[in-house]
Amino acid sequence: MAEFRVSAASADDVRVIAGWAVAEGWNPGDGDESAFFPADPGGFLVGRLDGRPITSISAIRYGTGHGFIGLYLTVPEFRGRGFGYRTWQAGIERLAGRNIGLDGVVAQQDNYRKSGFRDAWTTTRYQGVLGGLRRDTGIEVTDARSVAFTDLAAYDRRFFPAERDAFLALWITLPGRRAVVARRGGAVVGFAARRPAGDVDRIGPLFADSPEIAESLLASLSVPGGVRPAGAELISGGTALLGGGVVPAAGDEVPVMIDVPAGHQEAVRLAERAGLKAAWDTARMYTGGVPEIDRAGIYAVTSLELG
């Protein structure tokens, strides 16, 4: 009789799970697992059949009342045998008593509803090559690493239901990434990041106080070669005052993916104006009510895997 057990994953297991996500075509960012694991090291679960890892789920605890489910996977040859559902149950049990969020693919949404999740909004993945973006006069765009982290974390907290400092600190500093902050009068008014993900780049988050700021941040991340050149700095000297103008359509060589709340018309228009096309949808769902966050300022979510 084969033995199946679900237990906490190791850091090495999380790298294996990231590989499964790549095989599914989910395009996780290169090295995302290095930011995911410290967010809640006990929150990654793996199911083993006779010692072989075959299932996974992330059940991340944020603060005292929020949780997020992601990376729910079963190796294809073991699907349809109940192993995935047992892993799901373990993840849900770990987050008992919390308002749990997830981004559900279309094929699984009915199953999530049966488990008590309710739709909050649809997220659409847009993809293509960035171009034609305008930079707003007078918005100061700064490398996120040069901004006081407390200011950045406080701004991020407007758009997420709980503190996530360990995750955020790695999200802006891992190799190959570019993260930028918009400031006006010294105050943070926008935040965005871009990272490589196989043969494309992913942009997330894109948070901003206005559509003009969101567009300026997206324009600042539209650079020849994407984020790939080793050691290249996005903004020389850490700070740039962006004047008005248009980023050339050919200014970016690497396709990007960006996950946009579909009901946010300004965000949708920005993605389309940037030359991106809708690819597929997921549903942001919660077991409790929709958290009180600044949804109007979310032009792209940070990560479908961890919220």
User: What pLDDT is attached to residue 52?
Assistant: 96
290 pLDDT more than 70: yes
Q: How far apart are CA 153 and CA 137, in angstroms?
A: 26
Per-residue pLDDT band for 136 (boundaries 50, 70, 90) equals confident
Per-residue pLDDT band for 25 (boundaries 50, 70, 90) equals confident
Give the tens place of pLDDT for each residue, 241-282. 333 444 444 446 789 999 999 999 999 999 999 999 999 999
Q: Assess whether the region 4-121 and the region 126-300 belong to the same CATH fold.
A: yes
Higher pLDDT among residues 159 and 222, named by residue = 159
167 pLDDT more than 50: yes
Mean pLDDT of 79-93: 96
Of 42, 50, 38, which is closest to residue 7 (Cα–Cα)? 42
Mean pLDDT of 94-116: 94
Mean pLDDT of 183-196: 95
Q: b/e map of 147-184 (b: 16 or more CB within 10 Å)?
A: beeeebeebbbebbbbebeebbbbbbebebbbbbbbbe
Mean pLDDT of 226-230: 42
pTM of the full structure: 0.90
- CA neighbours within 13 Å on the CB side: how many for 252? 29
Q: How far apart are CA 175 and CA 211, in angstroms?
A: 29
Mean pLDDT of 179-202: 95
User: What pLDDT is attached to residue 7?
Assistant: 97
Mean pLDDT of 197-206: 94
User: What pLDDT is attached to residue 245?
Assistant: 43
Q: The tokens of 125 are what?
A: 């993945």
Per-residue pLDDT band for 236 (boundaries 50, 70, 90) equals very low
User: In a 10 Å sphere around its CB, with 0-12 CB exposed, 13-18 middle and 19+ buried, how is residue 107 labelled?
Assistant: exposed
User: What pLDDT is attached to residue 226?
Assistant: 46
230 pLDDT more than 50: no
Q: Which CATH number fits domain 4-121: 3.40.50.2300, 3.40.50.720, 1.10.8.60, 3.40.630.30?
A: 3.40.630.30
Q: Which residue has the tokens 């891992």?
A: 174
The answer to which of 53-67, 155-169, 215-229, 279-293 has the lowest mean pLDDT is 215-229
User: What pLDDT is attached to residue 223?
Assistant: 63
Higher pLDDT among residues 253 and 148, named by residue = 148
Every domain of the chain and the residues it spans? 4-121, 126-300
Residue 246 CA, distance from chain mean position: 27
132 pLDDT more than 90: no
Mean pLDDT of 155-168: 96
Q: Is the CATH number 3.40.630.90 carried by domain 126-300?
A: yes
